[in-house]
Structure 1
Amino acid sequence: MNLNRFPRREYLSGPTPIEKLSRLSEVLGGPDIYIKRDDISGMALGGNKLRKLEFLVADALSQGADTLITCGAIQSNHCRLTLAAAVKEGLKCQLVLKENVPGSYNPQASGNNLLFNLLGAEKVKVIPADKKADMGLEMQELARTLAAEGRKAYIIPLGGSNALGAMGYAACALEILCQSWSSRVNFDYIVSPSASSGTHAGLLAGFWGMSSDAPVIGINVLQKNDRQKDLVYDLAQRVAAEAGVHATLPRESVVCFDEYLGEGYSLPTAGMVEAVRMLASMEGILLDPVYTGKTMAGLIDLTRKGFFKQGQNVLFLHTGGSPALFSATALF
């Protein structure tokens, strides 16, 4: 696997640390649980999207773009970090946000909505929950408007989850293997949120490309397995092919649990609330209510059920998103 041929910006402050969650491990009485802190990486409160944006924004700059356009939910971490990357590069940024719950968008809200304003988004277009609209088409319309003004936009898909963006997590797989080797801790499982699939698929392609059999467990936070598994597998195949991996990724390597999704994306569950409280009160680490809270709820429940066992080492990937906590104060 060769990632050196892809242009790349540098938004991370180096390899993100891996820490042992000693108190949580003791309370659960199962495996030794570790956490990879992608939540404390780089700019604008960090998060996993920075790894993807290193590749995507480099491509945008190579094409002469002056504006980044992307999309997400109303408290989108991806939109926050895309906007921050644009600011760092001297680019403009426009956002398309989709409500999941009617009337839930409030431009004066805290969390990421506050940061959209503070970071200076040029335009925020909100699609109400009761309106059916394709966010991809909405972004293309914004790009056409800019083109008519003599500007050049670069469209970044939902979550930055295309083959180029997911290279960021193929590179992260190498980083994890290097940290595992240097610390002499072999990880039996890596647990990650699985949503737009770039993080999950990138990790799978990266480990496969480096002949590692480390299984990646995805906890679904966007949709059920009837769609998610194919989404992850198809993207992982494309990432591997683009990175020069010629062996075919086995379909059974895609492991997803959708029992922790609840009623849908961004909608709270009791398990998520418990997980956020446990990590805060036991380890001083903040999770978010949309991605990492539900993912940790899955890890906790799977440990209680004996899926993860004593003597094993489990690595939880903290993808960030804690600003969304401040828009969900009623839950906590």
Structure 2
Amino acid sequence: MKPIRYERRKYTTGNTPIERLDRLSEALGGPTISIKRDDLLGLTAGGNKTRKLEYLVADAIKQGANTLITCGAVQSNHCRLTLSAAVREGLACQLVLSEPETGYNPLASGNHLLFHLLGTEKIKVIPSDGDMLAAMEELAQALKQDGRKAYLIPVGGSNEVGSLGYMACAEEIEQQAWETGTPYDYVVTATGSGGTQAGLIAGFMARQSSTKVIGINVSRDRASQEAKVLELVRGTAEVVGLEGEILPSAVQCEDQYVGPGYAVPTDEMIEAVQLLARTEGILLDPVYTGKAMAGLIGMIREGRFAKEDHVLFLHTGGSPALYTAPHLFLPAKN
């Protein structure tokens, strides 16, 4: 494999910790569960997109951009972190947001509040079925006419450059496993735009690791998600010169825990968020990590893991979204 020689910004000091979840493991009676705390990554409120942005923003700066443009949902963690990276680098940032079915509330809390606190230059809201890429290109054209240069970042930061962040994370996990003498049989992660799962798969392949990556879908059906991730794994492998054929069997996604749709709460998600909070004092979010943990819990209860397995849950962050849905977790009134 060719060495990865991409320029990289550094937004986190040191590695994120891996913690044993002994009380959760005991409560579920299954394998030994640990958690990789990527919710503690740098930039505002942390989360997995920070790793992708270290490579994406470096590429933007190399190309001479002075404005980052990206897109996502109204409560997008990726938009929050892209904006935070722009602030750190002295760049402007514009956001394209997809209007939720309930309508756009300009006074929404959570990540949306942070967009304004961090000083986004512009927010463009489009219909939920609108073309985000076209909307971003329209903003970029307007900037070009003003003599500025934009750098467009896809939803979730999930392209070949962004995926390098989780190739690096796979190497970090392997190093931590070696230091503690605890190899991980499985890494379980939420999978949406696909860059996190694709980067991990490519990274473990580059290290010739036997660790398997299981994605828990937060949108889409299994076939669609696996095809999306596989395409990105292959693209990332080509960029870095990773040799060997990448078979479809390298990608495993589980779609039983999506529920009615993206960001739509499920009973299993609520149980998972409450269980981790009450056994380990760790906060998940209702959109990504809550459903991913629900998937891990469900697979344990189905007997999908052996008792002696070591499973690493990747905490991809997102806790600001908790505060947009207090009704899901507060006791019902009598």
Shift, 1:325, TM fit: 0.5
What code does the residue aligned with 1:127 have?
Answer: I
Partner in structure 2 of residue 47 of structure 1: 47
What code does the residue aligned with 1:68 have?
Answer: L
SS of 1:165's equivalent in the other structure is helix
1:313 aligns with 2:298: no
**Residue among 133, 152, 157 paired with 2:149:** 152
Partner in structure 2 of residue 297 of structure 1: 294
Partner in structure 1 of residue 121 of structure 2: 122
Q: Cα gap change, 1:3/1:102 in structure 2, threshold over 3 Å: closer, same or farther?
A: farther
Partner in structure 2 of residue 234 of structure 1: 231
- Specify every segment of 5 or more residues in structure 2 that has no aligned partner in the other structure, as ranges: 330-334
1:191 aligns with 2:188: yes
1:135 aligns with 2:113: no
Range 242-251 or range 277-286, more displaced: 242-251
What code does the residue aligned with 2:10 have?
Answer: E
The percentage of counterpart residues that share the same residue type is 58
**Residue among 217, 221, 237 paired with 2:218:** 221
Partner in structure 1 of residue 91 of structure 2: 91
What code does the residue aligned with 1:90 have?
Answer: G
Range 4-13 or range 30-39, more displaced: 4-13
Paired with 1:217 and 1:11, the residues of 2 have a C-alpha distance of: 27
Partner in structure 1 of residue 272 of structure 2: 275
Deviation per CA, 1:161-181, whole angstroms, max 9, x where unpaired? 000000000110000000000
Native 8 Å contact 2:257 2:291 kept in 1: yes
**Residue among 167, 173, 177 paired with 2:174:** 177
SS of 1:164's equivalent in the other structure is helix
The count of aligned residue pairs is 329
- Output the TM-score relative to the length of structure 1: 0.97
Partner in structure 2 of residue 266 of structure 1: 263
Partner in structure 1 of residue 332 of structure 2: none
The equivalences for 1:69-84 within 5 A come to 69-84=69-84
Partner in structure 2 of residue 108 of structure 1: 107
Paired with 1:101 and 1:199, the residues of 2 have a C-alpha distance of: 27
Deviation per CA, 1:252-281, whole angstroms, max 9, x where unpaired? 010110000001111111000000001111
Native 8 Å contact 2:187 2:311 kept in 1: yes
Paired with 2:224 and 2:198, the residues of 1 have a C-alpha distance of: 14
What code does the residue aligned with 1:186 have?
Answer: P
Paired with 1:67 and 1:14, the residues of 2 have a C-alpha distance of: 28
SS of 2:11's equivalent in the other structure is coil
What code does the residue aligned with 2:36 have?
Answer: K
1:326 aligns with 2:323: yes
What code does the residue aligned with 1:146 have?
Answer: L
Paired with 2:202 and 2:318, the residues of 1 have a C-alpha distance of: 24
Deviation per CA, 1:52-81, whole angstroms, max 9, x where unpaired? 000000000011101000000110000000
Runs of 4+ off more than 3 Å: 1-4
Partner in structure 2 of residue 246 of structure 1: 243
Native 8 Å contact 1:52 1:166 kept in 2: yes
- Output the TM-score relative to the length of structure 2: 0.97
